[in-house]
Amino acid sequence: MITSKSSHELAYMRKAGEIVALAHQAVSKAIAPGVTTEYLDSVCERVIRDAGAVPSFKGLYGFPAASCISINSTLVHGIPGKTKLRDGDIVSVDIGACYHGYHGDSAWTYACGNISEEAHRLMEVARQSLFEGLYQARAGNHVTDISHAIGEYVYAHGYSIPRDYAGHGIGSSVHEDPTIPNFGPAGHGILLKEGMTIAVEPMVHMGKPQTRVLHDNWTVVTKDNSLSAHYEHTIVITKDGYEILTTANKEELSDNG
């Protein structure tokens, strides 16, 4: 069931989103060559718990960590461990926090040290594709208006989009209806209404769209070993457009930050 959230529910989601944003700020400062993904996960979890929330992902469907940390050709659901970051890596960190029963969810891709120009361009296009989708997030539009805007921007820049992963509704559960694809024709799916909360999350490949899941049954990688980037914000549909909930400062509210 797709629901519009009350002002009381949105207050909890704003707080959850702020905590997610603070965790991102902390982990972004900790990313450096030689740092383990396990350490980055501990940074995320500490920020979340110190703020009075709990990690949304830890234990969700059996996932073992507070955050998903995915390096280079890993698309999503990378399990933190002993892997050390290397200079030139790009690192996607997906973080969720639950505050008083309501969730915030955001992913961002970070550079570790000196990255290639190709990697930088991939990150820029993937990041902007998120905002291209958000421009279509307003009451009266269809869900796939978001999808179409993301896909057309990514394809125009020569990249591809994995077919099996998408954005989603969010609220008292991490994953709620509707599903929000990152490609496809506009004008389909439900109509967006004021108070709906969704997580928009484009995932972009430098190479072909095909993926495979590793033997841990979690880690998703690009089949051709090409680089991948992932960006996500939790938003609420407003009367005039959208409000980003996973932010800790006003700069995050536009595509200029």
List, for residues 203-254, the tens digit of each pLDDT value.
999 999 999 999 999 999 999 999 999 999 999 999 889 999 999 864 443 3
pLDDT digits (tens, 9 = 90+) for 3-57: 899 999 999 999 999 999 999 999 999 999 999 999 999 999 999 999 999 999 9
HEC states along 122-137? HHHHHHHHHHHHHCCC
CATH of domain 7-253: 3.90.230.10
Measured from the Cβ of residue 200, the count of other Cβ atoms closer than 10 Å reads 27
pLDDT digits (tens, 9 = 90+) for 63-115: 999 999 999 999 999 999 999 999 999 999 999 999 999 999 999 999 999 99
How far is 146 from 182, CA to CA, in rounded Å? 8
Give the dihedral of Cα atoms 98, 104, 107, 110; nearest 10 deg: -80
- What pLDDT score does 254 carry? 37
CA atoms within 13 A on the CB side of 191: 4
Q: Is 213 helix (H, G, I), strand (E, B) or coil?
A: strand
Backbone conformation region of residue 157, classed left if phi is above 0, alpha if psi is from -120 to 50, else beta: alpha
How far is 236 from 213, CA to CA, in rounded Å? 31
- Please tell me what DSSP assigns to residue 79: P
Say whether pTM exceeds 0.85.
yes
Burial 28-53 (b: 16+ CB within 10 A, else e): eeebeeebebebbbbbbbebbeebeb
- What pLDDT score does 256 carry? 31
- What pLDDT score does 1 carry? 72
On the question of a cis peptide bond just before residue 209, with omega within 30 degrees of 0, the verdict is: no
**Helices 37-50 and 7-30, axial angle in degrees (round to 10):** 140
pLDDT confidence tier of residue 119, bands split at 50, 70 and 90? very high
- What pLDDT score does 118 carry? 98
Q: Where are the domains of the chain?
A: 7-253
Residues 6 or more apart whose Cβ sits within 8 Å of residue 232: 94, 105, 106, 107, 108, 130, 167, 199, 200, 201, 202, 246
- What pLDDT score does 3 carry? 86
How far is 26 from 22, CA to CA, in rounded Å? 6
Contact between 247 and 200 (Cβ < 8 Å)? no
How far is 53 from 102, CA to CA, in rounded Å? 10
pLDDT confidence tier of residue 160, bands split at 50, 70 and 90? very high
Of 57, 23, 7, the residue nearest 248 (C-alpha): 23
State residue 86 phi and psi, 5-degree precision: -120, 155
